[in-house]
Amino acid sequence: MKILQVSHGLPPKENAGVELYTLYLSRALAQLGHEIHVFCRETDTRREEFSISEDQIDGLRVTRAVNNLKDLPHVRAYYDNPFFDQAFLKILKEEKPDVVHFQHIFGLSANLIRMAKEMGYPVVFTLHDFFLLCHRIHLMKEDHRLCPGPLYGLECASCLGHSLHPEDTRTKFILAMKDRLPFSVIKWIKRFFIPTQYLEDRGYEVFHRYRYIYEILKNPDLLLAPSRFVADIFLRYYPSVRPRLRVLPLGVPPIKGNGLHPGPNKSPDEKIRFCYFGNILPIKGLHILLEAFKGLQQGRATLTIYGSRTPWNESYYDRLRQEASGLSVRFRDSFQRENLSEATKDQDVVVLPSICYETFSFVTREANFLGYPVIASRIGAIPEAIEEGENGFLFAPGDSEDLRKQMLRFIEKPDLAQTMAVKRKKVKFMDEQAAELIEIYQRLTERNR
């Protein structure tokens, strides 16, 4: 098959979760004998904005479109950007793929989905996060409060700098009552008393965004959610997609080694070695982890944080290092995920203290494969990957005292990590995911014919 993958980035310049997933999946599909072409956005301040280039990575053909996300005039430029239309149209006409699989459209354009569909190609869209619902991606306010959802765009106004006009009493009423009334009631009031056009006429870009995405979501033949949690959130706001929405957990990138790292049972006087690996960002809750660690009796445990200092996290990273001063805390650079087994071989327990809605969590599954129990926030899709007492424990998100209690379980019972290691669950790797998707692609192409 000829498969066109679309993503908002790809290594080596873009190395976050979806970008890495797209690369690993494309590799796995190519290894099954399929022809893969990736169309992606990239950051490159040395090149002209919106310029196009082609290269190869791991034998995959890649078309990259520059969008440095600077000097963008308004919110719409992040999700509805016509500068990419011609480049994408050229690829569709030249390649004539059997299927187009969108992984993400941040910094590209949601209109590419409609273009592919209108030209007759089967379209798959994986809902890796909440960008279609939330301009800030994570359903989290600027002050790190969780957001219940866009409320048809009403909830988004403050995040995007919109202030409601004094005459918008109907809108203000809904915002005042949103925490007091059931969502079904809010939905009814919004539908009959505050039409989207009424709000757009008052200059609220955010309401155009909500309605625009509603129309775009009519196009994919299949929407894939990585977790039941993500599916439920989207169905709350876009119930019409239910017939085309399927929960399909993601495949984990390959890891060298056979797992089961935790060694022999520890003696009571040995330290328990906790670790975190992933992005160093406030939404990941590392400040909560440090607060919990401070309350442990020093000399009973160590903490290792794997992750790099980048232009996006400089102040937060420096703050963490300052707070960790004098504690048994080490900071190590990030590593390639394939080498996870080797990089963490001297650890006992993985901690995932997120304060944002995790939509899947590779970390819990990677740790599980290696035999490490996980202590994680009870938030988002994380509980779908952890069976308490079997492969980990959950704690209330943002609650450092509750996190400390879970950490003390392993300090008070030094053999607990080894006991839980043998109860690890089966992990789906990327080659299995690729085989699943080929079956999906084939069914869609047959139906399309």
* Domain CATH for 327: 3.40.50.2000
Residue 433 domain-assigned (yes or no): yes
In which domain, by residue range, is 164 found? 151-205
Distance CA 55, CA 68 (A): 19
Torsion sign (Cα): 363, 364, 368, 374: positive
Nearest to residue 338, comparing CAs of 373, 313, 369, 374?
Answer: 369
Same domain, 69 and 174: no
Same domain, 71 and 32: yes
Same domain, 114 and 236: yes
pLDDT of residue 360: 94
pLDDT of residue 202: 46
Same domain, 286 and 370: yes
Same domain, 286 and 321: yes
Structural contact between residues 101 and 3, judged by C-beta atoms closer than 8 angstroms: yes
Same domain, 303 and 437: no
Distance CA 367, CA 372 (A): 5
Nearest to residue 95, comparing CAs of 61, 65, 70?
Answer: 61
Same domain, 308 and 341: yes
Q: Residue-wise pLDDT tens for the chain (449 aa)? A: 999 999 998 888 777 789 999 999 999 999 999 999 999 988 877 888 788 888 888 889 999 988 887 755 567 778 888 888 888 999 999 999 999 999 999 988 899 999 999 999 999 999 999 999 988 889 998 888 898 888 767 777 777 665 444 445 555 555 555 555 555 555 555 555 555 554 554 445 666 787 788 889 999 999 999 999 999 999 988 899 999 999 999 999 888 766 666 555 566 668 899 999 988 999 999 999 999 999 998 788 999 999 888 887 899 999 999 999 999 999 998 887 788 888 888 899 999 999 999 999 999 999 988 889 999 999 999 999 999 989 999 999 999 999 999 999 999 998 898 888 877 778 899 999 999 999 999 999 998 77
Torsion sign (Cα): 160, 166, 168, 173: positive
Same domain, 78 and 97: yes
Domains: count for the chain: 3
